[in-house]
Amino acid sequence: METWQAINTLRVVREFSERAIEPPELERILNAGRRTGSSKNDQHWAFVVVRDRDHLRELAAVGHYAGHLAGATLAIALVTPDASGHYDNSVMWDCGRAAQSMVLAAWELGIGSVPATVYDHALAHRLLGLPEDRRCDFLLSFGYPADASVLTRPSRAGGRLSLEELVHEERW
């Protein structure tokens, strides 16, 4: 799948089929994150791959909209340093870049995904067994879509602001 096509056709998938994600597919998705550029090449991220159904169900409680984790084929938790108790902006910016690489690499394989935002950080910390100096703000659910038609579905009209609304020339 051409890069622009992947970017333009990407849809959020919240319901997943029983079809397994094979090891080479998972490896490609993880490598897509791993290969992503980061500020000063810090690579301040780690990836926890969760597949156990009970564990995924427990993780579904970390956020208000994280229920999709319960039905994911697997989830990847993005873990970052938490030395100072807060992030500098570049950590989350870099993680977002790595996530987008993973999501697009998956989509090319026909694998859907959706991010989950962590609200209950203590719960995520405990369930993922993180050290004191690490935290998780986002997980990604992955799986083949329950409804394969999502892979070719046209984008919803009005789902995004127009370029005219978003773009400024030279100055605001």
Interaction residues for a second copy, span 83-122 (CB under 8 A): 87, 89-90, 92-101, 103-105, 107-108, 115, 117
Site for a second copy in 12-31 (CB under 8 A): 12, 27-28, 30-31
Q: Which of 17, 71, 134, 150 touches a second copy (CB under 8 A)? A: 134
Residue 26's CB: how many other CB atoms inside 10 A? 20
Cβ neighbours for 49, distance < 8 A, ≥ 6 positions apart: 26, 30, 74, 75, 76
Candidate ranges 15-23, 142-150, 152-160; the one touching a second copy (CB under 8 A): 152-160
Site membership for a second copy, residue 169 (CB under 8 A): yes
The DSSP call for residue 161 is -
For residue 79, the cross-strand partners are 46, 136
Number of residues that this document lists for the chain:
172
**Quick check: helix, strand or coil at residue 12?**
coil
Q: State the virtual CA torsion across 56, 31, 6, 42 in degrees, nearest 10.
A: 100
Q: What mask of x and - would describe binding to a second copy in positions 37 to 76, judged by CB under 8 A?
A: x-xxx-x-xxxxxxxx--x---------x-----------
Shortest CA distance to 102 belongs to which of 4, 165, 40, 10? 10
Nearer Cβ to a second copy (17/38)? 38
Candidate ranges 16-24, 32-40, 143-151; the one touching a second copy (CB under 8 A): 32-40
Site membership for a second copy, residue 140 (CB under 8 A): no
Nearer Cβ to a second copy (89/149)? 89
Site membership for a second copy, residue 124 (CB under 8 A): no
CA 141, CA 64: separation in Å to the nearest integer?
15
Nearer Cβ to a second copy (18/129)? 129
